């Protein structure tokens, strides 16, 4: 088996309160051996390219510090203010600045230069996500002939939205340097194919082979999963049981509805609160029988749109609680904190409804974690946005349009009243999918496909 070099913006091997992506990549690296390379998260006054190697929980990591200007232009700028909103269909929030695009190119050149000595001839190189679109091309420009794959964790936007980005064409062309590009769903893959065929004259065959001029590379839909066994075991752990009891006792017999999301405008939190408020208004008999526990740790706090969503949500939760709360009941408990994974598992298990309603999401791992943490004898109900990538694999959830307060309200009513047999039937089908297409399945499918790709023939590519 070839060694794996994973390259991503942040490196977070090890246990604790990690995101789903970190868990996925640590598992793949433990199996293959190799190195996880990326930004340390630290700032330095001048970029030196010094690599800090560590061994964390069976995974070798190599990290590099970035200069303040790189962090501002590449990370806060192009990645978080330009690409993230655009790729989540929010051109109203996307900021197009040449300095951001320049910083993005510079940081990717620096990553390529620094990672170069770590790559050995037989290694598979697996680049992750929208921070690093041009990295493959930068590695090729430095003579790397290894198989290089790229996986996109967020949606690929429709062609006409992408066209608003000044660097759209060059950015997409830079992706042709990879041998394999993975998307979570057919929908994102088709959006990419649509752009490439209309703007770059590419053709795609039935097996996903894309040809553009001299270049041939493969596109696959490969949905990421969770470590389902590990998560089910976490749900049975002492810490999860303790948390389950605490949360259950605090609900004093009420039905708990849970939302767990990074505080991000793509997650549809305002729309979710409005849907829940509608439910309270339309179902007065259920009032005081339910509580919404929304856990949303702040992220990307230096970006204005994130500060705005935080204060909007605080205002909305305050207004809804002010209008509906009684002496012994508040409708929304809104918590801005991160929790360890075993505690989260306990929270999911104590909640009879999992409310996962992003406006747009590449996949969404919370939906899968919620399912994996349930009690098989008495499982809760998953309400899932039809605009999350996860909806393609999870048709047995109650699928809703997250923009519609009425649909969220109806689904809440249905979930709360759902008979146990139906809950078990739906959960079993969901759990089978979560177990079968887990994170090991995902990484194996991607790395097998990458291994099968022919060695690249590198052409010259326009630079962004």
Catalogue the active-site residues.
153, 361
- Write down the least CB distance from residue 88 to ligand ADQ, Å: 8
- Write down the least CB distance from residue 366 to ligand ADQ, Å: 4
Whether the CA torsion 155, 158, 161, 164 is positive or negative: it is positive
- Write down the least CB distance from residue 20 to ligand ADQ, Å: 3
Of the pair 261, 277, the CB lying nearest ligand ADQ is at 261
Of the pair 110, 133, the CB lying nearest ligand ADQ is at 133
Q: How many residues are recorded in the chain?
A: 464
HSE, side-chain direction, 13 A CA sphere, residue 181 = 33
Q: How many Cβ atoms are within 10 Å of 446's Cβ, its own excluded?
A: 21
Of the pair 338, 413, the CB lying nearest ligand ADQ is at 338
Rg over alpha carbons for the chain, rounded to the nearest Å, is 22
- Name the residues that contact ligand ADQ, by CB under 6 A: 17, 19-21, 153-154, 224, 260-262, 295, 297, 338-339, 344, 361-366, 369
Query: Locate tokens 């408020």: which residue?
Result: 277
Cα separation of 430 and 428, whole Å? 5
- Running DSSP on this structure, what letter comes out for residue 181? E
Of the pair 23, 196, the CB lying nearest ligand ADQ is at 23
Secondary element (H or E) of residue 422: helix 420-436
CA distances in angstroms from 124 to 52, 115, 136, 211, 452, listed in the order given:
21, 13, 12, 22, 11
Cα separation of 256 and 252, whole Å? 10
Quickly list H helices, 334-394.
341-350, 365-372
- Write down the least CB distance from residue 187 to ligand ADQ, Å: 13
Output phi, psi for 9, to 5 deg.
-55, -60
Of the pair 21, 144, the CB lying nearest ligand ADQ is at 21
Query: For residues 37 and 6, is the Cβ–Cβ distance under 8 A?
Result: yes
- Running DSSP on this structure, what letter comes out for residue 207? T
Of the pair 65, 361, the CB lying nearest ligand ADQ is at 361
Of the pair 144, 366, the CB lying nearest ligand ADQ is at 366
- Write down the least CB distance from residue 120 to ligand ADQ, Å: 27
Q: How many Cβ atoms are within 10 Å of 138's Cβ, its own excluded?
A: 22
- Write down the least CB distance from residue 360 to ligand ADQ, Å: 9
- Write down the least CB distance from residue 57 to ligand ADQ, Å: 17
HSE, side-chain direction, 13 A CA sphere, residue 218 = 21
CA distances in angstroms from 154 to 325, 340, 345, 387, listed in the order given:
37, 24, 24, 12
Cα separation of 1 and 20, whole Å? 25
């Amino acid at each position: 088996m070839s060694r794996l070099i994973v390259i991503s913006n942040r490196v977070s091997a090890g246990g604790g309160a990690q995101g789903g992506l970190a868990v996925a990549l640590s598992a793949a690296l433990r199996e293959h051996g190799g190195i996880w390379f990326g930004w340390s998260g630290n700032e330095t006054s001048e970029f030196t390219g010094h690599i800090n190697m560590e061994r964390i929980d069976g995974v070798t990591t190599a990290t590099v510090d970035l200069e303040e200007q790189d962090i501002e232009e590449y990370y806060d700028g192009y990645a978080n203010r330009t690409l993230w909103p655009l790729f989540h269909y929010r051109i109203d929030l996307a900021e197009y600045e040449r300095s951001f695009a320049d910083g993005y190119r510079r940081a990717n050149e620096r990553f390529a230069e620094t990672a170069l000595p770590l790559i050995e001839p037989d290694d598979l190189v697996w680049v992750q996500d929208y921070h690093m679109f041009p990295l493959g091309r930068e590695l090729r420009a430095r003579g790397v002939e290894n198989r290089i794959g790229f996986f996109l964790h967020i949606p690929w936007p429709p062609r006409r939205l992408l066209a608003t980005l000044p660097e759209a064409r060059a950015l997409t062309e830079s992706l042709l340097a990879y041998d394999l590009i993975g998307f979570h769903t057919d929908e994102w893959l088709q959006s990419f194919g649509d752009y490439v065929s209309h703007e770059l004259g590419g053709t795609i065959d039935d097996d996903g082979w894309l040809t553009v001029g001299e270049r041939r590379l493969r596109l696959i839909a490969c949905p990421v999963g969770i470590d389902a066994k590990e998560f089910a075991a976490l749900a049975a752990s002492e810490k999860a049981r303790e948390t389950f009891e605490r949360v259950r006792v605090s609900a004093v017999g009420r039905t708990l509805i849970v939302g767990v999301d990074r505080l991000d405008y793509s997650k549809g939190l305002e729309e979710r609160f409005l849907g829940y408020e509608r439910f309270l208004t339309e179902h007065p008999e259920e009032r005081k029988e339910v509580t919404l526990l929304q856990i949303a740790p702040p992220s990307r706090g230096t970006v204005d749109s994130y500060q705005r969503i935080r204060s909007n949500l605080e205002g909305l939760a305050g207004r809804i609680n002010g209008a509906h709360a009684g002496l012994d009941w508040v409708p929304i408990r809104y918590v801005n904190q991160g929790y360890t994974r075993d505690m989260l598992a306990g929270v999911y298990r104590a909640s009879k409804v999992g409310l996962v309603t992003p406006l747009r999401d590449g996949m969404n791992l919370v939906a899968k974690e919620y399912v994996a943490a349930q009690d098989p004898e008495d499982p809760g109900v998953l309400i899932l946005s039809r605009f999350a990538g996860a909806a393609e694999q999870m048709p047995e959830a109650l699928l809703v349009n997250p923009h519609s307060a009425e649909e969220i309200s109806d689904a809440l009513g249905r979930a709360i009243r759902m008979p146990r047999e139906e809950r078990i039937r739906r959960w079993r089908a969901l759990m089978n999918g979560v177990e079968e297409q887990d994170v090991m399945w995902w990484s194996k499918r991607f790395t097998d496909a990458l291994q099968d790709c022919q060695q690249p023939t590198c052409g010259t590519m326009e630079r962004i």
